[in-house]
Structure 1
Amino acid sequence: MTNCLKQPLNKFIAPFSIFILLFSNLVYAQNIEKELQKIAKEVGIPGMQVAYTKGNKKQSYVLGEKKFESNDLVNKNTRFQAASLTKVVATYAFFRLMDKGLIELDKPLTSYYKYDRLSNTAGGDKITARMVLTHRTGLLNWQGDVPSASWRATPLTLQFEPGTDYMYSGEGFYFLQETLEHITKKSFQKLVEEEVLQPLGLSYSNIVWNDSLEVNAAYGHYSLEKPRRLGKYAKTNAAYTLYTTAEDYTKFIQKAIIEGEGLKKSTHQLMLTKAAEAKKSKDADPTDKFVPCALGIRMQLNENGTAYWHTGSNPGFRCFFITYPKTKETLVAFMNTDEGFPAMKKLMQLFLDNKQTFWAYDWREGELD
């Protein structure tokens, strides 16, 4: 008699449990969406994509407009400018080529390629890929009106002897880009497509603008009510020209940084090892020790251990990611406004364990330069 009663009871409990789980997930998602709307309103964000993963758990949220008062809503496939998150993709491409024996980490780049902008710069022949990836080249972030022809013709100057200090530099990444192009006899676009986008299955990412992106591209904004012109970078730049989505960039982080897919095990470990100190300003700051440089990526050292992060700032866009390899936890956010960085800490507190110090934001409020 007991067994006869137990069987139909179990049949009732199982679907009811599934219903409760689905209902709980729905309520959770609705609460998150309300919080995201609140953050967007507080900060003044026209449109945003957020992706969060932890292990097999995946969440994706979109809100707002591609362009203020256009009624053209952001969706999960809307392309945002990844800005300096491009540098992490470029770093992975470099390591792929290093694993093939095409370039070394500590060999001066001018031994591979005579960069004309450094031809009369004393000490320029000391710059290595390691110095580029840890921002210790001595080069300014940008020298000239990037990406104009006059910028490309502008000679580069050193602010200090390469390898002796820290200064965030996009120029260094562009120098590395042209070096890789020279070594492989391939465009940087082709290199990124062959070494990163295609093997990792990043079907919603482009390293440079093409007109097919226009139908679903986010506009940058000076502020909530002041949109910029649609940004169309016609020439690749390893420092800032990636167009992507939060979901696609999350896939890159999970595969390339957490799993080390496509890299030798030793190379993957090298990429995530502390390689140099960072500096908030000209003089060392006590908080610098919490955000040292790995190769091509920044570390966050806090109560919860080690995380890896990077931020991006293009005209009209702010973005960031942070990832915890130990727990396979990643948060990626793209925002289409110059004023987006105050949302960074709010988003980390919303999705991550908020009983930790978020040095990724607190160090320089998201800015790297």
Structure 2
Amino acid sequence: MRLIMTNCLRLLKTKVSIVIIFLVALHSEAWSQSKRLEIDKIMNEVGIPGIQIAYTKGKNTDLYAQGVKKFGTADKIDSKTRFQAASLTKVVAAYTFFRLLDRGLIELDKPLMYYYTYDRLYNTTHGDKITARTVLTHSSGLLNWEGDVPSAQWRATPLTLQFEPGTDYMYSGEGFYFLQETMEHITQKSFQSLVEEEVLNPLGLTHTNIVWNDTLEPRAAYGHYELDKPRKLGKYAKTNAAYTLYTTAADYTKFIQQALLQGKGLKKGTHKLMLEKAGEAKKSPDVDPTDQYVPCALGLRMQLNEKGVAYWHTGSNPGFRCFFITYPKRKETLVAFMNTDQGFPAMKKLMQLFLDNNQTFWAYDWREGELD
């Protein structure tokens, strides 16, 4: 009799467990469907042809892929569609730098010209004061771009400084390219090889490339001027640490989880250093009261608000807008890629949709998503 009762209890527990699992799955699907409808609404309001989103809370990641790769076609966005990550590339470049720093190959505060004589700065006063720290905090004094990137004429253009390195703030892609060439010189490896060896392969980012190759064409999203005006397919044939990453929301989330939140591949002290406040940001020549909420970490931007510290970055390439924001203590991350110049108004709407709305989203409100 006791054996029968035991078996009956086991059977009952099994059935209850199955019911609970079913109800949880049903609730999860309903939640996802609700989010998909809200995403569609945002896409219609803003005018977004295609979007790819990854939302992580704890150990669970939800993926959303909606719309089309190119307006006027039936080629739908899916979870493996490649988007241009634009300036989110800079965060990958920063992590690559810290991998080399951990090996003693380069220092944070030693002038980059100590390692590599950059011809574009040869006759520039104070050019020899630019360090990796000033590059990663956008205090190098270099313009965002000086010339027609990535033409040969641009590469031959001498660089000018807008201020002495380390004394002010100015968002700069040129600084990251200088750091790229320095790392290439030190290691005698191409930046493509460095990123593949230090980031993509160790972290298992199998749907990410640092530069264009023709195998990406059937999977690549087209950029758009606006909803119904597609651009030509963007094919960056030369690596640039500031903007040439092709990836997916799922892969970039894996990068955030492993490299930024776990510090995988970095010494504990280096990981801590990467996430510390390292500089101030400025939205205009004069200090603005809102600048204090978005200081610079090394290669990242911080958001300081009612929910504590978050890390974020945005990206803006011709035809693409993207962003990520991650809350380490809340174990919550949101990544979104959009294939239109008009995409940034969706940034705040998406943060309000997925994240606790009882907070100030300085990541958007500071400059409506734009960093340069």
Instruction: Please classify the TM superposition score into its range, dividing by the shorter chain length.
Output: over 0.9
How many pairs are equivalent?
369
Identity of aligned residues (%): 73
Whole-Å Cα distance in 1 between the matches of residues 353 and 94 of structure 2?
29
- The answer for the alignment partner of 2:115 in structure 1 is 112
- The answer for the alignment partner of 1:279 in structure 2 is 282
Q: Say if 2:333 is the partner of 1:358.
A: no
Q: Say if 2:103 is the partner of 1:123.
A: no
- The answer for the alignment partner of 1:191 in structure 2 is 194
Q: Could you tell me whether the CA contact under 8 Å between 1:254 and 1:328 is conserved in 2?
A: no
Letter in 2 for 1:216: R
Taking the TM superposition and a 5 Å limit, the aligned residue runs for 1:334-345 are: 334-345=337-348
Query: Could you say what secondary structure the match of 1:300 adopts?
Result: strand
> How much does 1:9 deviate?
4.3
Q: Say if 2:208 is the partner of 1:181.
A: no
Whole-Å Cα distance in 2 between the matches of residues 168 and 7 of structure 1?
63
Q: Say if 2:146 is the partner of 1:149.
A: no
Letter in 2 for 1:102: L
Whole-Å Cα distance in 2 between the matches of residues 42 and 216 of structure 1?
26
- The answer for the alignment partner of 1:215 in structure 2 is 218
The one-character-per-residue Cα deviations of 1:298-344 (angstroms, maximum 9, x if unpaired) are 00000000000000000000000000111221100000000000000
Taking the TM superposition and a 5 Å limit, the aligned residue runs for 1:135-174 are: 135-174=138-177
> How much does 1:7 deviate?
5.5
Query: Could you say what secondary structure the match of 1:295 adopts?
Result: coil
Whole-Å Cα distance in 1 between the matches of residues 361 and 190 of structure 2?
38
Q: Say if 2:235 is the partner of 1:232.
A: yes
User: Closer, same or farther in 2 for the Cα pair 1:172/1:6, shift >3 Å?
Assistant: same
Query: Could you say what secondary structure the match of 2:61 adopts?
Result: strand
Query: Could you say what secondary structure the match of 1:198 adopts?
Result: helix
> How much does 1:173 deviate?
0.2
Letter in 1 for 2:290: T
- The answer for the alignment partner of 2:61 in structure 1 is 58
Letter in 1 for 2:188: K
> How much does 1:38 deviate?
0.5
Whole-Å Cα distance in 2 between the matches of residues 311 and 11 of structure 1?
47
Query: Could you say what secondary structure the match of 2:203 adopts?
Result: coil
Whole-Å Cα distance in 2 between the matches of residues 75 and 57 of structure 1?
19
Letter in 2 for 1:93: T
Whole-Å Cα distance in 2 between the matches of residues 276 and 7 of structure 1?
60
Letter in 2 for 1:151: W
Whole-Å Cα distance in 2 between the matches of residues 153 and 122 of structure 1?
18
Gaps of 5+ in 1: none
Aligned counterpart for 1:132 among listed residues 130, 135, 141: 135
- The answer for the alignment partner of 1:83 in structure 2 is 86
> How much does 1:12 deviate?
3.6
User: Closer, same or farther in 2 for the Cα pair 1:154/1:23, shift >3 Å?
Assistant: same
The one-character-per-residue Cα deviations of 1:32-83 (angstroms, maximum 9, x if unpaired) are 1000100111010000000011121110000000000110000100000000
Query: Could you say what secondary structure the match of 1:266 adopts?
Result: helix
- The answer for the alignment partner of 1:292 in structure 2 is 295
Query: Could you say what secondary structure the match of 1:327 adopts?
Result: coil
> How much does 1:14 deviate?
2.5
> How much does 1:16 deviate?
1.9
Whole-Å Cα distance in 2 between the matches of residues 352 and 129 of structure 1?
33
> How much does 1:13 deviate?
2.5
Aligned counterpart for 2:326 among listed residues 320, 323, 326: 323
Q: Could you tell me whether the CA contact under 8 Å between 1:291 and 1:299 is conserved in 2?
A: yes
Q: Say if 2:336 is the partner of 1:333.
A: yes
Q: Say if 2:230 is the partner of 1:205.
A: no
Whole-Å Cα distance in 1 between the matches of residues 343 and 40 of structure 2?
13
**Please, what is the CA RMSD of the aligned residues?**
1.2
Letter in 2 for 1:141: N
Q: Could you tell me whether the CA contact under 8 Å between 1:89 and 1:196 is conserved in 2?
A: yes
Normalization by structure 2: what TM-score? 0.97
Query: Could you say what secondary structure the match of 1:250 adopts?
Result: helix
Whole-Å Cα distance in 1 between the matches of residues 277 and 188 of structure 2?
32
Task: List structure 1 runs of 4+ shifted beyond 6 angstroms.
Answer: none
User: Closer, same or farther in 2 for the Cα pair 1:253/1:7, shift >3 Å?
Assistant: closer
> How much does 1:10 deviate?
3.6
Whole-Å Cα distance in 1 between the matches of residues 190 and 23 of structure 2?
53
Letter in 2 for 1:307: A
Gaps of 5+ in 2: none
User: Closer, same or farther in 2 for the Cα pair 1:129/1:7, shift >3 Å?
Assistant: closer
- The answer for the alignment partner of 2:72 in structure 1 is 69
Q: Could you tell me whether the CA contact under 8 Å between 1:49 and 1:62 is conserved in 2?
A: yes
Q: Say if 2:275 is the partner of 1:249.
A: no
- The answer for the alignment partner of 2:51 in structure 1 is 48
- Identify which range, 7-16 or 232-241, moves more after superposition: 7-16
Letter in 1 for 2:350: L
Whole-Å Cα distance in 2 between the matches of residues 168 and 6 of structure 1?
65
> How much does 1:21 deviate?
1.2
Whole-Å Cα distance in 1 between the matches of residues 360 and 310 of structure 2?
11
Whole-Å Cα distance in 2 between the matches of residues 168 and 255 of structure 1?
26
